[in-house]
Amino acid sequence: MGALQALKRKLQDGERDSEKLGEACDRIVAATQKVISESGEEGEAIAELLRDSVSDTVYFFLEEHNLDDDFDIRAFVTARNW
């Protein structure tokens, strides 16, 4: 949960640096991979939902707050190694 909260804070603060957002997303990915390794098939299902939720949240937040003018969120999300 800490990694998700960190991403939320960065977005709320208007962060658009793809490197910093990428680091926050990488921490979420690491936590997701831990869930998968510890939970087997159930972990994979949870991880898939989490990945979709994080991507959707980032899209929504940036678009709702007009932060995507100078930041290509679609390229950022698809470039992440989910």
- Residue-level pLDDT, tens digit, the chain, 82 residues: 577 777 778 777 887 777 777 787 778 778 777 777 787 777 777 777 777 777 777 767 666 666 555 555 556 555 555 4
- Give the pLDDT score at 1: 58
* Predicted local confidence at residue 67, as pLDDT: 55
Place of tokens 């989490």: 50
pLDDT at position 4: 73
CB atoms within 10 A of CB 28: 20
* Closest to 24 (Cα-Cα) out of 57, 68, 70: 57
